[in-house]
Structure 1
């Protein structure tokens, strides 16, 4: 899923913290040290030590306040970090990044165009009412209704009907095969909200006054605009294996990276995800807590948002890619804690076939810098002196550093690259409002998956998709996406994903920049948080508990 990560990109340092699960270094090899393209070693872990005892309260930091908690607009880190604990989906993403039953206890696929879901009996919403199939139908239909402008509408583009077909049964029909539709019901597209609550709150649903009414292990107790939210343990939660150990989790909004670091170091805040890279040394050596790194399903790239200008010529896109100093970006933006990307997909995006993803990534050549070769391509394309506009922002260091590197690359090969600086809020709007991208040729973004399937990100470059910012269109690519959507075997679908990757490397509708793992810090008081991208859908706070 092509989304902006509106915080400083996570990177990595070597950490001495003990961890559960396997660990791998920044080359994908087990062991304590990295190497390769990154001068800094680090380990990733699958899990953190489980929470042990009960606690009355804990405080967690968010780098930004969610604009809304309406699940149809949950298309970025802050709202999903909250909703993962409050709302639940038809299916569930597990901490090991697999898809499992969720509010639907089972699903069937009787024919290529039909998905049948049997909902769990006795599940309670936070207001005490009982979930039914009607709630699931109403919740899904909100994505399909154009009046709601769902950020996930393209997930349902092939859906012809969503109906209650039994007391606790929901049937979805599609016009063509779509395996990814089923998988994405484990993320925001599959959220189930009370139909009565949706009708009652109307357009106020998900805002600070109306809030939400879901089925998760925590209920949204209060929302103090501009300051914090409080999540309260839900005593009637159905999944006893995820009964929270902490009664109240206060989520505080701290947008300034230095202030977040200080709050964590002082113990004012017990934990947080997605920390500024320049805080790693302090946090990792403070003794006040532990810093962990986990699998990340996405990397940063320069998305081409205008194919009507010079970048409409693939030679210009390739030339710009050839001229970018990726190692320089990693050093300047991440203090060396990361590595240059080889493609728009990274190995951890292949949750459906992990070994295949790792092997394919290892076989890919580095995107080496070749300024002379790039100059020749610019001359061949007749693009010498042509203007390209790259948007930049002080929202996060990796955005401004990347934009500056792209500008320098353009200058080195004869392009006139102009930087357009926008405020943080305006930068975020670029990903949801197409009109804000007028006059912009390149947008630095993070493309990641919320499910274990690389097709989730890959299908956003299908002709007409919401995340296809440059309206790039390739008939060969579209046919392969459709073929993948009809392929139920995971390994076979991964093979198609690799073919799609080859096309993206050949055509460059997005220019790969760099990648790094996920980060989480927890004070010495608590432990248990999911350290991977699974926390975007999985109730990570329900795993928290005292460290002793």
Structure 2
């Protein structure tokens, strides 16, 4: 398994830290880092059809929400989308930008635009060609708010897209934007067939969520609700050295954690993307399995609707942070696989800056609540996903908040339902969130969650937090002409957010995955299990 630094293999007798975990890459070596340039469809050895005979089954923690990269906002679905869709750029295991459908890119002198040269002879799964006009049409569609795409705000930085020639395109931002490359490397900046897009334009009721057509090594085959999503090898994939080695991959939603574990032990599934931490160490002793854990880009938190009177006073929000014993939460619920939050960002995010965290202090929490006019606490409703892990976190939070007089009712929902409720922005009180900074840089970790212009409906600032100082700091960071100046602004923004406490900052969870030893060449990038090179022995 190819992974970034910090990943460990859980074995019978020891935990081995490694940069590259070669024990699971029997016929593979570490992928070399690539600069902003890549060879133009360099000749590669064709993958033999003989290898393309196996099938693997992957157990996910929840049903996919959408198979449209512009309309999916959960990390769970990315495991599926990454097999079918590609963008101009992506990030490698070390968080470095590398070209995919682009061969190179170049900044303008004023840092307001990026010009991309595109690969030639790239086909979508429906046989239609990829070119500069497709890039323009895709980006124009997703950023048009009238189309209601969940990722519309993600592309709000774009002013215009210009087709220079059939294989050259320029993306121009509204103003200098230091995060533009990282945004264009995000999984949501993937491209779909123009033919498929036209179907949606001709018929507004046509579902792009259920008809994914990308350029990746695997193509969509079938989605049976509650049972599986199946992808199959795409024989005309443009990179002949990286064609699919499996005939198909099946992704099964398995909400109950113990069921995922039992299915893996019984050989009914080949990979579990979200292994229950309670089982991780014990399963490391199974000679037929590989179990890995490592740091993630995710942040687990409790959001709160700051429009409600009870959360308007900063002292109440701070009290709720002091009321949480995060180390106990990590120990009891995550079995030690996590790190207490000392920022709104994971330490793996570029621009992260360690801040003064909230130490566990029940007495201080009660004092702050009393000062804010809530000496006996108050009642609250906590929304969460209905998976085993999230319900366990919610119940732990309920008990801890009750210690300071806050009486919590937990309400669990299927992931898609919860996201719809949060996006609608109606009836929100408390909610458990898990934000993954998919660009691996600070702007996308902070702006969607704390900027005043990102509140519902259809945006991610579900707590309706608004702070003009934070808005200005985030904007100044984007316009900064050097990385040190941007980092200083992000540091100040994190400091304000931690003090304002619009979240209960919980912890950065480890990614814990397991697989059968018979499956090789699996990698993890941006907390997503990558299966494009995987094969089964």
TM over 0.5: yes
For 1:7, the equivalent position in structure 2 comes to none
How far did residue 170 of structure 1 move?
2.1
Q: 1:41 to 1:286 in 2, by over 3 A?
A: closer
- Tell me how far apart the structure 2 counterparts of residues 159 and 21 of structure 1 sit (CA, whole Å): 32
For 1:499, the equivalent position in structure 2 comes to 492
Q: How does 1:292-371 map to 2 (within 5 A)?
A: 292-350=292-350, 357=352, 360-361=353-354, 364-365=355-356, 367-371=358-362
How far did residue 303 of structure 1 move?
1.1
Q: 1:171 to 1:24 in 2, by over 3 A?
A: closer
Aligned pair 1:79/2:77, yes or no? yes
Partners of 2:143 and 2:152 within 8 A in 1:
yes
Count of residues in Structure 1 that have an aligned counterpart in Structure 2: 501
For 1:463, the equivalent position in structure 2 comes to 452
- Tell me how far apart the structure 2 counterparts of residues 140 and 181 of structure 1 sit (CA, whole Å): 14
- Tell me how far apart the structure 2 counterparts of residues 519 and 337 of structure 1 sit (CA, whole Å): 8
- Tell me how far apart the structure 1 counterparts of residues 272 and 398 of structure 2 sit (CA, whole Å): 33
- Give the counterpart of 1:510 among 503, 506, 514: 503
For structure 1, the 5+ residue unaligned runs are 1-18, 34-39
SS for the counterpart of 1:223 is strand
- Tell me how far apart the structure 1 counterparts of residues 508 and 68 of structure 2 sit (CA, whole Å): 29
Partners of 1:25 and 1:32 within 8 A in 2:
no
Aligned pair 1:101/2:99, yes or no? yes
Q: 1:45 to 1:290 in 2, by over 3 A?
A: farther
Partners of 1:51 and 1:543 within 8 A in 2:
no
In terms of mean alpha carbon deviation, does 453-462 or 226-235 score higher?
A: 226-235
SS for the counterpart of 1:213 is coil
For 1:192, the equivalent position in structure 2 comes to 191
For 1:385, the equivalent position in structure 2 comes to 376
Q: 1:269 to 1:25 in 2, by over 3 A?
A: closer
- Give the counterpart of 2:430 among 442, 453, 478: 442
For 2:235, the equivalent position in structure 1 comes to 235
Return the structure number with greater relative CO, CA threshold 8 A, min gap 6: 1
In terms of mean alpha carbon deviation, does 486-495 or 449-458 score higher?
A: 486-495
- Tell me how far apart the structure 2 counterparts of residues 51 and 63 of structure 1 sit (CA, whole Å): 28
- Tell me how far apart the structure 2 counterparts of residues 455 and 279 of structure 1 sit (CA, whole Å): 35
For 2:223, the equivalent position in structure 1 comes to 223
- Tell me how far apart the structure 2 counterparts of residues 527 and 344 of structure 1 sit (CA, whole Å): 35
How far did residue 227 of structure 1 move?
1.9
Q: 1:409 to 1:63 in 2, by over 3 A?
A: closer
Could you state the TM-score of these two structures normalised by the residue count of structure 1?
A: 0.84
How far did residue 44 of structure 1 move?
7.0
Aligned pair 1:52/2:27, yes or no? yes
Partners of 2:191 and 2:214 within 8 A in 1:
yes
Aligned pair 1:166/2:165, yes or no? yes
- Tell me how far apart the structure 2 counterparts of residues 502 and 41 of structure 1 sit (CA, whole Å): 35
How far did residue 101 of structure 1 move?
1.4
SS for the counterpart of 1:247 is strand
Aligned pair 1:427/2:426, yes or no? no
For structure 2, the 5+ residue unaligned runs are 29-50
For 1:251, the equivalent position in structure 2 comes to 251
Partners of 2:163 and 2:169 within 8 A in 1:
yes
Partners of 2:75 and 2:436 within 8 A in 1:
no
- Tell me how far apart the structure 2 counterparts of residues 511 and 152 of structure 1 sit (CA, whole Å): 25
How far did residue 75 of structure 1 move?
0.7
For 1:64, the equivalent position in structure 2 comes to 62
Q: 1:41 to 1:192 in 2, by over 3 A?
A: same
1:77-118 deviations in Å (ceiling 9; x for gaps): 333211111011121121222111121222222133323222
How far did residue 199 of structure 1 move?
0.9
Q: 1:473 to 1:278 in 2, by over 3 A?
A: same
Q: How does 1:198-217 map to 2 (within 5 A)?
A: 198-201=197-200, 202=203, 203-208=205-210, 211-217=211-217
The CA RMSD over aligned residues, in Å, is 2.8
- Tell me how far apart the structure 1 counterparts of residues 306 and 249 of structure 2 sit (CA, whole Å): 43
For 1:285, the equivalent position in structure 2 comes to 285
Q: 1:41 to 1:392 in 2, by over 3 A?
A: farther
For 1:8, the equivalent position in structure 2 comes to none
For 2:533, the equivalent position in structure 1 comes to 543
- Tell me how far apart the structure 2 counterparts of residues 454 and 304 of structure 1 sit (CA, whole Å): 22
Partners of 1:93 and 1:186 within 8 A in 2:
yes
- Tell me how far apart the structure 1 counterparts of residues 463 and 297 of structure 2 sit (CA, whole Å): 22
Q: 1:42 to 1:324 in 2, by over 3 A?
A: farther
Partners of 2:344 and 2:505 within 8 A in 1:
yes
